[in-house]
Amino acid sequence: MFQTNDIPLSLYIHLPWCAKKCPYCDFNSHLLRDHHQFEDYTGALISQLRGWSELFKSRKIKTVYFGGGTPNLFPIDFIKILFREIRSIMDIEENSEISFEVNPLNMFRDSSIEEYFLDLNGLGVNRISVGAQSFDNMSLKRIGREHTPKEIELFLMDVCKIFKNVNVDLMYGLPGQNQMKVRKDIGTLKDFNVAHISYYQLTVEPGTMFYNNAPKLPSEDVIWDMYLLIMNELARNGYSRYEVSAFSKGGMRCQHNMNYWEFGDYIGLGAGAHSKITKNHLIERRIVISNPVSYVNKIKSNEQFFKKTSYLPGAEVLFEYMLNAGRLTKGFKILNLEERTGVEFASEQRKFCLACDKGLIEITSDKVIPTKLGLDFLNNLQEIFLPIKDD
């Protein structure tokens, strides 16, 4: 039996449109072709929210996250409507983290950047995540980003005037990138003293434009040197690494992502959104269809718009847990693993001992902690927990 009442619950709202699809992006994002889509999509989100109210009945919402896509393409009036509905239906914890993803310059045309962010702040948004990716002009062009370094800096200045909790996304391993450019990115960002940095390696994923027309990337040795430089420079500038790609100052971790990594529950609204709901004896997952037009049409016609799957405690749930909690630098408590997965640690101890023998984790009396080697070679750690499929 799962300890359901002790598992935190988060809310994710997917706003799927972008002004342009980046060639490396494998997220569920779509080109915005008609501004009338905003109203229909907002109505669909509200219908889904009301229809799924039983999923969060009697449970408080720990965090809220607006992701995309480019959420700041959405007119603020529709964001206000969504907030009104969310607050009327859900019980959100006091002082909860409410995050909103943004891209530089992708603002709805009837609002200035400052007005838009002041309105967001007034609605209760207290964390902003900015998709900068780089401060080098050539690097930005090579990954299909349309903003310039100067535009990012001006954008960040406006954001940081209004919000104290700001994350910036950066990438390394970009075409034509080297250590000097990475050092310059970190040096530029240092001037803004943001609370949080997410630093991702560019990977070419199936289904992206880069997958069909692959760019020339730096060699593995050069990418490894960039990685080591990032670890050292961010630590030197006061950022603590708490997850493979996440760094924060002063304990300003992303609470929403922490709930994912600690295998909490979450409800996903919108096209392509995922939900995980723990019940007394199983974990239920729901995945909404990815196309936003189909999503809206199916909700309007009262048709099924998601796929539902249930998992009993076992190897598959343990593997999912390790995909998440295994990323945390401080590891996880064995009791947390048992309460969140329904799996007894003793029954799977052979896998943990194998990972320990390989130097990928350390096991204490009450915790499992990835080693530096385990974090550097996370795939090798996760593979040990892959479920064995029957032939």
How crowded is residue 84: how many other Cβ atoms within 10 Å of its Cβ? Answer: 12
Asked if the structure places residue 38 within a domain, the reply is yes
Indicate if 237 and 102 belong to the same structural domain: yes
Strands (E), the chain: 9-15, 17-18, 30-31, 61-68, 92-102, 127-133, 166-172, 196-201, 240-243, 246-248, 265-269, 274-278, 283-288, 306-311, 332-333, 361-363, 367-370
- Best CA proximity match to 9, nearest among 252, 256, 251: 256
Asked if the structure places residue 285 within a domain, the reply is no
365 Cα distance to chain centroid: 31
User: Going residue by residue through the chain (391 aa), what tens digit of pLDDT does each one get?
Assistant: 676 778 999 999 999 999 889 999 999 999 888 888 999 999 999 999 999 998 888 889 999 999 999 999 999 999 999 999 999 999 999 999 999 999 997 554 455 888 999 999 999 999 999 999 999 999 999 999 989 999 999 999 999 999 999 999 999 999 999 999 999 999 999 999 999 999 999 999 999 999 999 999 999 999 999 999 999 999 999 999 999 999 999 989 999 999 999 999 999 999 999 999 998 889 999 999 999 999 999 999 999 999 999 998 999 999 999 999 999 999 999 999 999 999 999 999 999 999 999 999 999 999 999 999 999 999 999 999 998 765 4
Residue 192 structure tokens = 């803004």
Asked if the structure places residue 272 within a domain, the reply is no
Residue 276 structure tokens = 């995980």
Residue 49 structure tokens = 């929210």
Distance between CA 27 and CA 308 in Å, rounded? 20
Domain that holds residue 368: 313-391
In 163-270, which residue ranges form alpha helices assigned H by DSSP? 179-190, 209-212, 220-236, 255-261
Indicate if 352 and 236 belong to the same structural domain: no
Cβ contact 70:21 at 8 Å: no
pLDDT at 390: 57
Asked if the structure places residue 276 within a domain, the reply is no
Indicate if 350 and 227 belong to the same structural domain: no
Asked if the structure places residue 85 within a domain, the reply is yes
Asked if the structure places residue 305 within a domain, the reply is no
Indicate if 103 and 252 belong to the same structural domain: yes
Indicate if 346 and 252 belong to the same structural domain: no
Asked if the structure places residue 280 within a domain, the reply is no
Residue 58 structure tokens = 């009697």
Q: Which of 260, 277, 294 finishes a domain?
A: 260
Q: Which of 225, 260, 295 finishes a domain?
A: 260
CATH number where 340 lies:
1.10.10.920
Q: Is 212 exposed, middle or buried (CB count within 10 Å of its CB: 0-12, 13-18, 19+)?
A: exposed
pLDDT at 108: 47
Indicate if 132 and 11 belong to the same structural domain: yes
CATH number where 23 lies:
3.20.20.70
Q: Tokens 């207290």 appear where?
A: 126
Distance between CA 277 and CA 177 in Å, rounded? 41
pLDDT at 1: 61
Indicate if 246 and 318 belong to the same structural domain: no
pLDDT at 58: 84
Asked if the structure places residue 108 within a domain, the reply is yes
Indicate if 190 and 104 belong to the same structural domain: yes
- Total structural domains in the chain? 2
